[in-house]
């Protein structure tokens, strides 16, 4: 699964470990402090087109990288199920940029923070 992930993602990943063995097809995953998004790009392949993965981070530079590479990953795997939001992880239930919460209630099955 790593072979599809852009090199910049792997190089800028500061996580410790791989929690993706817990995910199943169709799961909806939230990564708190998603950084470059490497774990989410692995998750996107595991949960498949029927699942979704959401990264939340407050670092605009990392979000710029991850959002750009989300398009690359969608092209590589044939579907786009990854999305990133900018915000503080302690305030994801507050209003985002536009209508609605950053992370709507009851929209996630699994939460991780690596």
The per-residue pLDDT string of the chain (114 residues; one tens digit each, 9 = 90 and over) reads: 556 666 666 565 555 666 777 889 999 999 999 988 888 898 999 999 999 999 999 999 999 999 999 999 999 999 999 999 888 888 777 655 555 677 777 778 888 887
Q: Which helix (H) or strand (E) holds 109?
A: none
Q: Alpha carbon of 58 to those of 29, 75, 78: distances in Å?
A: 18, 26, 28
Residue pointed to by tokens 């998004």: 37
What pLDDT is stored for residue 26 in this prediction? 96
Closest to 4 in 3D by CA, of 70, 64, 56, 49 = 70
Can you give the pLDDT at residue 106? 78
Nearest alpha-carbon partner for 108 in 15, 20, 9, 23:
23
Q: Given this model, what pLDDT does residue 61 score? A: 92
Instruction: Tell me which residue has tokens 């774990």.
Output: 39
DSSP code for 89 = G
Predicted TM-score (pTM) of the model is 0.79
- The beta strands (E) that lie in 1-114 are given as 28-32, 52-57, 82-86, 110-112
Q: What is the pLDDT of residue 103?
A: 75
pLDDT per residue over 102-113, tens digit each?
777 777 888 888
| Residues 15, 35 contacting (CB under 8 angstroms) | yes
pLDDT for position 22: 80
Question: Domains in the chain and their CATH numbers?
Answer: 28-92+102-114 (3.40.50.150)
């Amino acid at each position: 699964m790593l072979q599809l992930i852009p090199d910049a993602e792997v190089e800028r990943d500061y996580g410790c470990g791989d929690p993706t063995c817990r995910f199943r097809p169709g799961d909806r995953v939230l990564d708190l402090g998603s950084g470059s998004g490497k774990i989410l790009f692995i998750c996107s392949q595991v949960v498949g087109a029927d699942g979704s993965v959401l990264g939340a981070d407050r670092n605009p530079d990392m979000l710029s990288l991850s959002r750009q590479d989300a398009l690359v990953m969608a092209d590589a795997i044939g579907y786009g199920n990854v999305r990133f939001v900018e915000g503080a992880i302690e305030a994801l239930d507050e209003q985002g940029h536009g209508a609605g919460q950053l992370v709507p209630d009851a929209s996630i099955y699994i939460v991780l923070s690596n």
